[in-house]
Amino acid sequence: MEEIQYIGEHLLPGQIGRLAILISFVTSILATVSYFLATQRRDTDEYEGWRRIARSAFVLHGISIFVVIGTIFYVMIQQYFEYYYAYSHVSEDLPFKYIASAFWEGQEGSFLLWMFWHIILGFILMRTAKEWEAPVMAVLSTIQLFISSMIQGLHIGFGDWVYKLGSNPLLLLRDTMDIPIFANADYLSLVTGTGLNPLLQNYWMTIHPPTLFLGFASTAIPFCYAIAGLWTGQHKAWLKPVLPWALFSGGILGTGILMGGAWAYEALSFGGYWAWDPVENMSLVPWLFLLAGIHTNLIAKITGHSIKSSYLFYLLTFVFIVYSTFLTRSGVLGDTSVHAFTEMGLENQLLVFLLFFVFLSIGSYLWGSRDVPVPEREEATGSKEFWMFIGSLVFLFSAALITISSSLPVYNKIVELFDPTYEGSVIKDPVEHYNKYQLWIGIFIGLFSGLSQYLRFRESNFSKHGKKFLLHLGIATVISGVLTFLASIWIDARAWQYKLLLFSGIFTVITNLDYLISFTRANLKTAASSVSHIGFGLMIVGILASGLNKKWISNNEFAQQGLIKGFSQEQYKKNVVLIKGEPLFMNGYEVTYVKDSIWENYRQFQVNYKQKDEAGNITEEFDLYPNVLYERKENKIAAVNPSTQHYWDRDIFTHIATLPLSETDKEYAKTLEDSLNYVTHYMNVGDTLRQKDYILILEEMKEGATHKDYDSQPNDLSYGARFVVYPKKINARFEVQPVMALRKTLLYTFSESIPKLGMKIKFPNEALDELFVPESELGYESFTMEKGQTVDYQDYKIRFDNFNVEAEHSAYEREPGDVVVGAEMTIFDQQGVEVGKAAPLYLIRGNQPFNFKDELFDLGLHFRFVKINPNSEEVEILIGRKSAEKRRVPIAIANDVPRSDWIVLEAILFPGINFVWTGTIMMMVGLFMGMFARRGRRE
């Protein structure tokens, strides 16, 4: 086949990028091997040499990954759609601020983001890890080796068997698709990008993935230290340097997860922050393991107990990060998750990635933990460490339960392999299922973390401090009990389990607060733990308040009565129809859909909320602005964005559940418009038209009219007919102004409607000849007049009254240097009765004379002011008229029009949601405080 010479392709960035991808893979192998050898020969002379090679390899690896990222960004910013990645993630109309989001929308981009953070962390380790550098970096390089294999796109073949290793982000579009368009050498001029999913076009998509991936990447460091500890047999020495890393990772990963929840709550229409979706769960599980690890790490550092548990928890943390990657990216979750990623054929490779680290962990643990020192003396039940350890076990349980339930699809897949007839099983009510178990986890964590704060490290003689302990504990219990009682008046916690959870949340807040004040004495390390645990308690209170008291405001009983008889699931009915301008009372709020406005493909709705006291005075009022994003060309909704009113103690969340079909489907809207029965009436200014339900008066014909859908341009000609409408049955008055506009040869008609009356009004096409009369048909006659003079024109007498230098005209915009003058004229009929006034305009701009005509629409009279004699003050006026007959404007009116001025709204009240945010943020702050406290203590 003949090679086609394609036009306009930019091949250089691709070549550079693909080379860098390959280099990154090779250097990661080199770094792994040399760090491995450096570790193995750490006590010999070779150590320095191997470390130097390893360092260079890793730095080179880092640079090549940066180059890959740079090239991808370059082709995306330049919109080189010859590259598949640019084609499938960018489009011409994608705002620049979303380029980064588009980059990590794709699987390859998110792998690169993950590697980017590993490299940054790796560089830090090279500078700070000292004797731990070689083993730790050996493991980190191995991880990089696996991830960089995901972006290789290499075809490895043995005979007929070909395996594709990874997916290369810098492939050309024509190499990934086989379609006829590539027979055209100039195919690029026909191709444009598909762009970023509109749902992802918001700032959360810019900040959430980098944070979460830094969280993912940071869990690798405790893992690397754990392997390093097992490998080198220094079971105690690693406990200290790993701790700040683990705390940092806990804080960042937690923040990433938290941002995901906040995104779901703020910007998506899920109506909540956590849904126990498998993807969410599997990001939480590693975090729970990490928290367990941090606790056992602290114990191990102080007492020498729990070293094995610390190894285990840190190993599990990273293994579960990889497991979660496998679940979300392999497509195995299928229809059980709303976050389902598309399959990319990387399943096997991801499985190898997972299995390698599972076996590495098991192997290292079994091999390395044989000689872990175990102290002779057992931990006393009255010591802090004992209860911290029990707390870690609670974390383990929590993580294990979530993992087992979330992994059900994996279990189904495995059984299906052996038994194809096997029908997969599912959890019936996931939210209820998870809540049921995690409730107890919450209770235990709350109680233990409250209780153990009063205990002391390494306590052997409990009775010595028993009195003080019991005193504080007793007071805290009483205060918590009272507060729980008060809170349960506010929170609808009927079941005793909820009351217990509420108590344990409040209990840990009180005890930790007490501990913070009475015992910490400005010690950052201990304060950090108090802050975290107070945060946990507040979060529990918030979860209970917002979860149990979550209430649908949009639940209008009157509107829904008796629609489904005898059905007990009324609470699932969450939406109401709101008609524009008609307030609806629902659950204490008067809600009104005020108006909507469209800006390009973005449509915003204003929804007003009012609360009134018994006297009818407004006690509270606010507006919310939920919006929808239409797809670029089609008139389809691509994304719905909620809007939320925040108070310190509650949130009111609102989003558009549905719009009328005519507003979301252009085809349907057109069919609907065609089915309307328009009747044409001929009217002049001042005429009245009687219809079945209303009376219509044509008040005025306006030149240069405006309309909400009409963007006027300088040389447009336009007319609007201003009507006043009086309904017969109700006491109201409406004004409508349909518009017809002429832009060169294009004619636009803008209709108006009164949904309440079911009427729609517009200019029919035949109005064109009547509105825009060509100048040639007017038969202008010239009159030279002086001030006060009257002339006869057809049936009228026309008097030139005066000059006006401040005259205005709808088509005239004043510029500096203009010399402008208007001629004020009065028109009388034969009986001498005044019938109108006109003011044509004469203008000199840059030595050129211009004039703007004036038209008396109802009489059909046109005036032009064409000349002025400055000496005699005489003017020349042209007067024209199309015909002597009375003017009649055609107007088309349709009645019985289906209403389309409504929205379907979902409104939810979330009480106490700020406790959730404050609590979770405090947990992260506590972790970071712990990290900083320990970072400074490193020798």
Q: Which residues bind another protein (CB under 8 A)?
A: 88, 177, 179, 181, 189-194, 197, 334-336, 338, 340, 342, 378-379, 381, 390, 393, 397, 400-401, 404-405, 408, 423-429, 432-433, 436-437, 559-560, 563-564, 567, 569, 572-577, 633, 636-637, 640, 657-658, 660, 899, 902, 904, 906
Our CB check for another protein shows the closer of 571 and 830 to be 571
Here the tokens at position 694 are 């209303």
- Residue 559 CB, shortest distance to another protein, in Å, is 8
Q: Dihedral of the CA atoms 756, 758, 759, 760 (nearest 10)?
A: 100
Here the tokens at position 166 are 């990874």
Our CB check for another protein shows the closer of 343 and 815 to be 343
User: Which of 58, 94, 61, 78 has the alpha carbon at shortest distance from 14?
Assistant: 78
- Residue 206 CB, shortest distance to another protein, in Å, is 20
User: Which of 22, 916, 144 has the alpha carbon at shortest distance from 542?
Assistant: 916
- Residue 572 CB, shortest distance to another protein, in Å, is 4
d(CA 225, CA 215): 16
State the DSSP string of 66-105: HHHHHHHHHHHHTT-TTBHHHHHH--TT--GGGHHHHHHH
Q: Dihedral of the CA atoms 466, 467, 470, 475 (nearest 10)?
A: -150
**What pairs with residue 828 in β-bridges?**
797, 834
Here the tokens at position 267 are 């910007």
Residue count (the chain): 939
User: Which of 33, 22, 14 has the alpha carbon at shortest distance from 71?
Assistant: 14
d(CA 111, CA 151): 8
Our CB check for another protein shows the closer of 418 and 572 to be 572
d(CA 98, CA 196): 8
d(CA 691, CA 689): 7
- Residue 188 CB, shortest distance to another protein, in Å, is 10
Whether residue 695 contacts residue 688, with contact meaning beta carbons closer than 8 Å, is answered with yes
Whether residue 300 contacts residue 313, with contact meaning beta carbons closer than 8 Å, is answered with no
Our CB check for another protein shows the closer of 436 and 464 to be 436
User: Which of 764, 773, 737 has the alpha carbon at shortest distance from 860?
Assistant: 773
Three-state DSSP class for residue 282: helix
Our CB check for another protein shows the closer of 574 and 612 to be 574
- Residue 293 CB, shortest distance to another protein, in Å, is 17
Our CB check for another protein shows the closer of 729 and 744 to be 744
Our CB check for another protein shows the closer of 56 and 895 to be 895
Number of other residues whose CB lies within 10 A of the CB of residue 710:
17
Whether residue 818 contacts residue 832, with contact meaning beta carbons closer than 8 Å, is answered with no
- Residue 380 CB, shortest distance to another protein, in Å, is 9
Our CB check for another protein shows the closer of 118 and 305 to be 305
- Residue 573 CB, shortest distance to another protein, in Å, is 4
Here the tokens at position 733 are 């008055």
Our CB check for another protein shows the closer of 602 and 793 to be 602
Please state the φ and ψ torsions of residue 613, each to the nearest 5 degrees. Answer: -85, -175
Whether residue 31 contacts residue 57, with contact meaning beta carbons closer than 8 Å, is answered with yes
User: Which of 935, 931, 937 has the alpha carbon at shortest distance from 246?
Assistant: 931
Here the tokens at position 753 are 């409607």
d(CA 375, CA 84): 59
Our CB check for another protein shows the closer of 190 and 833 to be 190
Whether residue 116 contacts residue 56, with contact meaning beta carbons closer than 8 Å, is answered with no
Our CB check for another protein shows the closer of 232 and 575 to be 575
| DSSP assigned state of 183 | G
Our CB check for another protein shows the closer of 200 and 877 to be 200
- Residue 208 CB, shortest distance to another protein, in Å, is 20
- Residue 326 CB, shortest distance to another protein, in Å, is 19
CA distances from 712 to 439, 648, 715, 725 (A): 61, 45, 9, 26
- Residue 274 CB, shortest distance to another protein, in Å, is 16
- Residue 190 CB, shortest distance to another protein, in Å, is 6
Here the tokens at position 839 are 């003011």
Our CB check for another protein shows the closer of 120 and 393 to be 393
d(CA 320, CA 340): 18
CA-based torsion, 928, 930, 933, 939: positive or negative = negative
User: Which of 566, 578, 571, 569 has the alpha carbon at shortest distance from 555?
Assistant: 571
d(CA 903, CA 870): 63
Whether residue 30 contacts residue 97, with contact meaning beta carbons closer than 8 Å, is answered with no
Here the tokens at position 360 are 């590495």
- Residue 793 CB, shortest distance to another protein, in Å, is 42
- Residue 192 CB, shortest distance to another protein, in Å, is 5
Amino acid (one-letter) located at 551 = K
Our CB check for another protein shows the closer of 191 and 360 to be 191
Q: Is 860 left (phi over 0), alpha (psi -120 to 50) or beta?
A: left
Whether residue 226 contacts residue 310, with contact meaning beta carbons closer than 8 Å, is answered with yes
Our CB check for another protein shows the closer of 560 and 677 to be 560
- Residue 260 CB, shortest distance to another protein, in Å, is 19
Our CB check for another protein shows the closer of 305 and 762 to be 305
- Residue 738 CB, shortest distance to another protein, in Å, is 25
Our CB check for another protein shows the closer of 393 and 516 to be 393
Our CB check for another protein shows the closer of 434 and 928 to be 434
- Residue 571 CB, shortest distance to another protein, in Å, is 9
- Residue 332 CB, shortest distance to another protein, in Å, is 13
- Residue 426 CB, shortest distance to another protein, in Å, is 6
Q: Where are the alpha helices (DSSP H) in 455-523?
A: 462-490, 496-518
